[in-house]
Amino acid sequence: MFVRSKMTANPFTVSQDQTIPDAQEIMMEHGVKRLPVMKKDKLVGVVSREDIAHASPSKATSLSMGEITYLLGKTQIKKVMSKNPVTISSGALLEEAATVMRDHGVSFLPVVDDGKLVGIITESDIFDSFIELLGFREQGTRLTIEATDAPGILAQLTSIFGEHGANITHVAVYRGGAGKSDVVVGTNSQDTAAIEAALEAQGLRVVYKLVNR
């Protein structure tokens, strides 16, 4: 699955010359935590609620509320934003986006194609995609099968499901140790007793079963 399929296109942005109250108003109105910062049509940074909080006077300040409001109203976003943000292209895989987020310790990536901001993708988008890819909320049965990590095992599994007229909707493989892997197979069938028996007969142990009705 590609970033373009899960990103938020045409995201809300703020100009580097706008002020902290401007950014706060956009965030509150649209319920977002971060904003790409633009200089004309070019992405130059990212500003978050945390950036604004760090730039704001502490509660221990001797400044009056009026003075704080005045200072924040004069502070431009370019003074508090994070510059040179890590980005991703819309044609990248979701796995790439997740890896970039993890490696750089961020939970948000601007999506840039040919120097133009086309969207944003967040950690929540990645989580939702992971759940969707595994079909966790779909009706049917998910069998976790312990199998030998060897060529031909997936073909053996799919053959058993096919012989029982069960449609495979999702497959995930989690490599383990000692030459074993856990293979998670999703099927739209809710009655898998015969499939489980056939798997066991061929030395494929069902270690977990989840039925969504």
Question: Do 167 and 187 contact (CB within 8 A), yes or no?
Answer: yes
Q: List, in sequence order, every residue forming a beta bridge with 164; answer none if it has no partner.
A: none
Q: What is the pLDDT of residues 15-60, one digit of tens each?
A: 999 999 899 999 999 999 999 999 999 999 999 999 888 876 544 4
Q: What is the pLDDT of residues 172-189, one digit of tens each?
A: 998 877 888 999 999 988
**Other CB atoms closer than 10 Å to residue 28's CB: what's the count?**
10
Residue 91 CB contacts under 8 Å (≥ 6 apart), including other chains: 2, 3, 4, 113
Percent of the chain with pLDDT over 90: 68
Question: Do 186 and 170 contact (CB within 8 A), yes or no?
Answer: yes
Q: Is 161 left (phi over 0), alpha (psi -120 to 50) or beta?
A: alpha
Band (70; pLDDT cuts 50, 70, 90): low
